[in-house]
Amino acid sequence: MAHDLVIRGGTLYDGTGKPGETADLAIDGERITQVGGVVGPGEREIDATGLAVAPGFIDPHTHYDAQVCWDPDLTPSCWQGITSVVMGNCGFTLAPCRPDDRDAVMRMLTRVEGMSLDALREGIDWNWESFPEYLDALEAKSPGLNVGVLAGHSAIRSFVMGKDATEREATPEEIDAMREQVREAMEAGALGFSTSMAPTHIGGDGKPVPSRLASDQEVIELTEVLAEYRRGAFEIVTRDLTDVDVPIAVAKHSGRPVTILGIVGEEEQKKLDRASDEGHRIIPQTSCRPTSMEFRLDEMGVFDQMPSWQETAKLEGAELRALLRDPSFRKRFRRDIEGDFEGYRLFQGDWDGVSVLTASIPELRKHVGASVATIAAARSVDPLDAFLDVAVEDDLHMQFGYTISGDEGRGPGLLDENQMIGLSDAGAHLTLLADHAYTTYFLGRWVRERGLMPLEQAVRKLTSVPAEFFGIPERGVLRTGYFADVVLFDPERILNHEPELVADLPGGNQRLVTRADGIEAVIVNGGVMIEGGELTGVRRGHVIRGA
């Protein structure tokens, strides 16, 4: 009897770190039924000669929670060889959510995650209220990729505390109610719990997002629910982007793996090393790409952790432009940039690194491509004043670019077994970042061009490592009986394209998307979703439910 699909003659990298070997792979239904050996005929066969055949890549840090409502193919991740994504990061989820709170949630996503409010209002169908109902709604959408979801702290806090969630710490009774919401999410299949303490995370009302008002004890007590279920991971954006004390406390109290988003300096690393020596698993996520941001001054940007800039989140239109012109505001902003600052400062005052990408007014288009430092010199003014002046003159439509850090020095972190490659933020910061293409950048730039590590180890980093960390069953490895999530790619050609700005969001709103070379086929649960770099219309993704 013929197999449903046979992949012949490729070099199989099974995801465990074992060197690749030429072999055939058979798929029947949703499962891998044979790896290597004499594989019989298939109803359909794919010639993979010269190609790498690997488990589908797993993205551990996405924000597709809203986009999946109008784009079940989850572009552009599917074009990067990704077959499974983890959503609900940083405490930002769409459930639980009462109908009266929906607009506030959408405004928070607009500010924090750089999503178009118009697109959210038009694209989210909101046919759920509870977390279990949200997972069921995802299942009904028949996504192209597999989607797993973390229970989000800000959503749960708002559901329990209402408007007080952004005003104060929770009472013991409110913490108990939140624990019940985490339990309900875990019962439904959540992959864990997430939160944010980051100073950059400000809601649409200009106030800190709900999770930032939580006490350390609240976070610890909520994550102890994961210990009750003996599964699930905890993800946190650290306080001031530097503190590791809360993640360590969570690991000690819950016994569950923790992944952190923040800046790990020498002292923080010593603390993490001590916790690791005690048997706790706390893994920072690291990016394999240069950290570049594109931003406008009426959107989330590189200054949001600064107290002065947080004043801008409360204003829009003429009021915001007036604030940016105000000499007293500029004095406070300058002090935040140049003076002492608690925590990690994303912007270091290097105005030669900030450039103009677009301008809407014709007479300002001469500045496109120029740095703020260059513009300031031409105007004979201070760079900070030049920066704010040109933005206001362009009615805040001007788009800027800023490279926070390049590739220099990233190699050791990518090799480190105690760091996980991720931080794509796919589905968020839609006109700000394009890190969703990290898999093809990693395999093209770091592995092929720079020879950082053998291909088999690189595949393992993108597949079985995140699968094991989040407890994603029967994925991340090419093994008989496992789900048939497979990517075929050309190791000699794989590389991301430059991002393009397209207007394909609901209401014609814009986002950055990235295509890639060398991704020949993407197979999700036995269905060929991408072939020759293009969507086939086949969608066989599952909601990944922890069990």
pLDDT (mean) for 234-241: 94
pLDDT for 41: 97
> Whole domain around residue 370: which residue ranges?
293-405
Q: What is the 3-state secondary structure (H, E, C) of 161-211?
A: HHHHHHCCCCCHHHHHHHHHHHHHHHHHCCCEEEEECCCCCECCCCCECHH
pLDDT in tens, 243-293: 999 999 999 999 999 999 998 989 999 999 999 999 999 999 999 998 777
Question: Sorting pLDDT into bands at 50, 70 and 90, what band is 484?
Answer: very high
For the chain, the 3-state helix, strand and coil shares in percent, each to the nearest 5, are: 40, 20, 40
Provide the pLDDT for residue 35: 98
- Which of 194-198, 358-362, 399-403, 518-522 has the weakest average pLDDT? 399-403
Q: Does residue 403 register a pLDDT over 90?
A: no
Token pair recorded at residue 202:
């400000």
Quick one: tokens of 415?
């090799």
Residue 87 has pLDDT above 80, yes or no: yes
142/257 same-domain check: yes
Let me know: does 334 contact 367? Beta carbons within 8 Å: no
Contact (CB, 8 A) for 237 and 198: yes
How confident is the model at residue 199, as a pLDDT? 85
In terms of Cα–Cα distance, which of 215, 119, 205 is closest to 172? 215
- Mean pLDDT across 63-69: 98
Distance of alpha carbon 177 from alpha carbon 175, whole angstroms: 5
Q: Which residues pair with 6 in a beta bridge?
A: 26, 45
For residue 422, what are the CA distances in angstroms to 61, 287, 432, 439, 530?
A: 6, 6, 17, 9, 22
Same domain, 128 and 200: yes
In this structure, is residue 111 part of a structural domain?
A: yes
Q: How confident is the model at residue 348 (pLDDT cuts 50, 70, 90)?
A: confident
What's the pLDDT at 501?
87
- Which of 405, 435, 452 marks a domain boundary? 405
Are 107 and 221 found together in one domain? yes
Domain boundary (240, 269, 286) is at 286
Let me know if residue 214 belongs to a domain.
yes
Residues 260 and 142 in one domain: yes
Distances (CA, A) of 177 to 166, 181, 254, 485, 500: 17, 7, 19, 38, 44
Residue 354's CB is within 10 A of a number of other CB atoms, namely 21
Across residues 455-475, what is the average pLDDT? 98
For residue 486, being part of any structural domain is answered with: no
268 assigned to some structural domain = yes
Domain identity same for 282 and 368? no
pLDDT band of 333, cuts 50, 70, 90: very high
In a domain, 458, yes or no: no
How much is the pLDDT for 447? 98
Same domain membership, residue 372 and residue 270: no
200 within a domain of the structure (yes/no): yes
| Chain Cα centroid distance, residue 374 | 33
Quick one: pLDDT at residue 511? 92
Q: Does 159 lie in the same domain as 138? A: yes
* Cis status, amide bond into 96, omega within 30 of 0: yes
Contacts of 436 (CB under 8 A, 6+ apart): 59, 62, 76, 77, 80, 424, 425, 426, 427, 514
pLDDT at 394 over 90: yes
The β-bridge relationship of strands 57-59 and 82-87 is parallel
The burial of 352, by beta-carbon neighbours within 10 Å (0-12 exposed, 13-18 middle, 19 or more buried), is given as exposed
In this structure, the answer to whether residues 238 and 301 fall within a common structural domain is: no
User: Which residues, including other chains, have CB under 8 Å from residue 129's CB and lie 6 or more apart?
Assistant: 95, 96, 97, 98, 99
Measured at the alpha carbon of residue 313, what is the angle toward residues 311 and 315, in degrees to the nearest 5?
A: 85
Q: Examine the domain organization and report whether 378 and 269 are in the same domain.
A: no
Question: Which of 23-27, 94-98, 264-268, 459-463 is the least confident region?
Answer: 264-268
* CATH value at residue 125: 3.20.20.140
Tell me which of 405, 440, 461 is where a domain ends.
Answer: 405
Alpha-carbon distance 547 to 543, whole Å?
12
Rounded to an integer, the average pLDDT of 370-383 is 96
Q: Does residue 176 fall inside a structural domain?
A: yes
Which pLDDT score is estimated for 114?
A: 84
Report the Cα 221 to chain-centroid distance in Å: 25
Residue 276 is assigned to a structural domain of this protein: yes
How many domains are there within the chain? 2
Indicate if 170 and 275 belong to the same structural domain: yes
Q: Mean pLDDT over all residues of the chain? A: 95
Q: How far apart are CA 179 and CA 480, in angstroms?
A: 38
Alpha-carbon distance of 190 to 176, in angstroms, equals 19
> Which pLDDT score, from 0 to 100, does residue 232 have?
98
The reported pLDDT for the residue numbered 169 is: 98
- The answer to whether residues 302 and 348 belong to one domain is yes
Task: Say yes or no to pLDDT of 126 above 80.
Answer: yes
- In the prediction, which pLDDT does 406 show? 84
**Do 282 and 315 share a domain, yes or no?**
no
Q: By CB neighbour count within 10 A (0-12 exposed, 13-18 middle, 19+ buried), where does 470 fall?
A: buried
What is the structure's pLDDT at 294? 79
